[in-house]
Amino acid sequence: MTPSPRSRFSLYLDLIRWNRPAGWLVLVWPTLSALWVAAGGFPGWHLLAVFVLGTILMRSAGCCINDVADRDFDRHVKRTAQRPITSGQVSVQEALAVGAVLSLVSLGLVLTTNWVAVAWSVPALLVTILYPFTKRFFAMPQAVLGIAFNFGIVIAFAAVQGEVPAMAWLLWLGNLFWVLAYDTEYAMVDRDDDLKIGMKTSAITLGRFDVAAIMVFYLLFLGLWLAALAPLALGAIFDMAIAAALAQVAWHWWLIRTRTREGCFRAFRMNHWVGFTLFAGIAGGYLLH
């Protein structure tokens, strides 16, 4: 029986993880933080809309690409066996078409900014496409994911300032360590299944040092952002945000210390609060400047 349009639409929503906003929230908060820093405060409604919608659309497109690339692996993993492509409910061609449409709409949004931002969006798309395939041969594919996720910071500075200054790259590097932290937590959930199917992940590569490495990644993330933003003198509210983020890192250690699937998955899903905390500190610091 041919599915009704509504059920087909529902499958597409599942494909792009619409019911799992944690995936785009960890992208949007550092992007908005960079946007605020680049603009010296509120960047205006146009850029705010472009980057919020663009982030959601590109994360959704990335899900389509990822699931196409991983369709033969996902059926062997408990958490992913029922994804629409793996279960045969959505074809590869459909998924690629959905991903292409979302990418084009996102490109249309970037085209309303400037040519520098548009130029940086090209490597952003290419790395997004490359990432799923690195899980076959690269010991730390989470680093490639971090590069893909961090382009929002670069494009935000480019859209506001027409260039990407040193501060942006320091934020970029710090955020790379955050992605390594939370995506290693995510990889710890599937480690047993990934070992059986030969998938490469940071959780497997780090082995018994996984929890310690995640804590180091978090501290490098916060330390680099603190160093990058120190010249802005954002005040006590930003300092409080850093302290609150450190408290969350301690809570993450508590969740993942025994390496249970439930604890690691909960830690991953809660990561967007770390990003929100820093954004709130930055936005609040400019508001009270």
178 closest CA partner among 136, 223, 141, 208: 223
pLDDT tens per residue, the chain (289 residues)? 444 444 878 888 888 888 888 888 999 999 999 999 999 999 999 999 999 999 999 999 888 888 888 787 667 666 766 778 887 788 889 888 988 999 999 999 999 999 999 999 999 989 888 888 887 778 888 888 888 889 999 999 999 999 999 999 999 999 999 999 999 999 999 888 888 877 888 889 898 999 999 999 999 999 999 999 999 999 999 999 999 999 999 999 999 999 999 999 999 999 999 999 999 999 999 998 7
> Which residue is it, tokens 């599937």?
190
* Element spanning 18, H or E: none
CA distances from 81 to 13, 75, 76, 88, 172 (A): 17, 4, 6, 10, 33
pLDDT of residue 74: 66
Per the structure, the count of domains in the chain is 1
Pick from 282, 288, 27, 44: nearest CA to 153: 27
The CATH number for 186's domain is 1.10.357.140
Do the Cβ atoms of 266 and 277 come closer than 8 Å?
no
Residue 258 has a pLDDT of 95
Q: Tens of pLDDT along 253-275?
A: 999 999 999 999 999 999 999 99
Please report, for residues 145, 158, 249, the alpha-carbon distance to residue 128 in angstroms, rounded to integers and kept in the order given.
Answer: 7, 19, 27
Q: Domain residues for 216?
A: 5-287
* Tokens found for residue 212: 């310690």
CA-CA-CA-CA torsion sign (102, 106, 74, 137)? positive
Q: What is the DSSP string of 163-211?
A: S--HHHHHHHHHHHHHHHHHHHHHHHHTHHHHHHHT---HHHHHGGGHH
- Which of these, 178, 142, 171, 202, lies nearest to 273 by C-alpha position? 178
| Coil vs helix vs strand at 217 | helix
Question: Token pair for residue 269?
Answer: 């899903």
Q: Is 46 strand, coil or helix?
A: helix
| Single-letter residue type at 120 | W
At 42, phi and psi to the nearest 5? -55, 125
Task: Summarize pLDDT for 213-247 with one digit per residue, the tens.
Answer: 999 999 999 999 999 999 999 999 999 999 999 99
Four-residue CA torsion sign, 47, 48, 53, 55: positive
Per-residue pLDDT tens digits for 21-33: 888 899 999 999 9
pTM: 0.91
- Both tokens of 101, joined, read 């449409």
